[in-house]
Amino acid sequence: MLFLLIIITFTSCNDGDIIVTSFDFDEANLQSCAGDIGYLFFKINEGDTESLSFRIGITEQQFKTNNTLVSTFNGAGIFANYRIYDGTVTNSYFCNEVPPTTPNVTIEYLADSGTSTLITTALFDDNDGLETVDSNDEDLEGTGDKDKDGIPNYYDFDDDGDNVPTIDELDTENADGDNDPLTNPLDTDGDTIPDYLDSDDDGDGVLTRDEAEGTLDPTQIGIGIPNYLSNLVVEEDIVEEFREHNYDFDSDIQLILTNLVLINGDEEITRETLNMGTIESILTGNEVKTPAFPDN
């Protein structure tokens, strides 16, 4: 959407001078800063003398899930403003703990009303090497949840919930040299169900999770070979708890302002829809959580 040149007369403070403002941020990149009171999103126009900013009281937790946050401007935790400066402004003006004293703000419009829509798109990766597929089949690396732990398979550290990481139950030796963990995944009991989807890897009737002598790591229990891989050992110690999981995430956001009304005295600027733009990888990292054990 192209913005028309805005010409505004300020009789009260400029003695009838004509103030010319472009209010053109089409080519400006959306930027952000995190602070103690939330996140500040802003754009600086091509001439570096005007800015449009939006603040909302959220934490980085907002960017760790796929979600859409719709908020109404309230002048406190959520507000927007449009400023004109008497000199060049840079992102340091917004992102420093103590803003610079220059340039000076010559004109400021504050949001009187409007709505913000903050859309977060997060990508998750359990680093097991399996390619994500578009399917809710619980036996595939998609949105299905094989072990009912609340974490979809495609970023579940342990797909079958046996407390043995998925990555340790695939083609761990890469014997065929193709670097494809699914070419020849481990199938200890030969039942055609690969270990990473098999809750009883050795087929001895005792769940892998329950062959860990009450611990949360079956791989550490056994003599010579872990108990869960030997059908000669059938000692059972019920474990109803999942071990700690972790996965990487990479989040993008899109910010849209609607029904925006910016006020300066008797003057106002209105926009029905203002797409502020996107920020890729606004937050990346590793999330650690222990999923709840299902009731049944």
For residue 41, pLDDT over 90 is answered with yes
pLDDT reported for residue 77 = 77
User: Looking at residue 296, what is its pLDDT?
Assistant: 65
In 3D space, the residue among 293, 197, 198 whose CA is nearest the CA of residue 238 turns out to be 293
Interstrand relation of 245-264 and 267-289 (parallel, antiparallel or unpaired): antiparallel
Q: Please report, in angstroms and rounded to a whole number, the separation of the first and last CA atoms in the chain.
A: 53
> Which pLDDT band holds residue 198 (cuts at 50, 70, 90)?
very high
pTM value is: 0.83
259 confidence band (pLDDT: 50, 70, 90): very high
pLDDT of residue 182: 85
Contacts of 116 (CB under 8 A, 6+ apart): 54, 56, 69, 70, 71, 72, 73, 78, 80, 255, 256, 257, 258
For residues 129-139, average pLDDT: 95
Average pLDDT of span 5-25:
47
pLDDT of residue 18: 38
Backbone φ and ψ for 185, nearest 5 degrees, come out as -65, 155
pLDDT digits (tens, 9 = 90+) for 138-188: 999 999 999 999 999 999 999 999 999 999 999 888 877 888 888 889 999
Tell me what pLDDT residue 10 has: 34
* Higher pLDDT, residue 245 or 20: 245
Report the pLDDT value the prediction gives residue 152, as an integer from 0 to 100. 97
Residue 96 pLDDT class (50, 70, 90 cuts): confident
Evaluated on CA atoms 229, 232, 233, 239, the torsion sign reads positive
The yes-or-no verdict on residue 76 having pLDDT over 60 is: yes
State residue 21's pLDDT score. Answer: 58
- Structure confidence at residue 168 (pLDDT): 94
pLDDT at position 280, please?
98
Contacts of 273 (CB under 8 A, 6+ apart): 1, 256, 257, 258
Share the mean pLDDT of the chain. 89
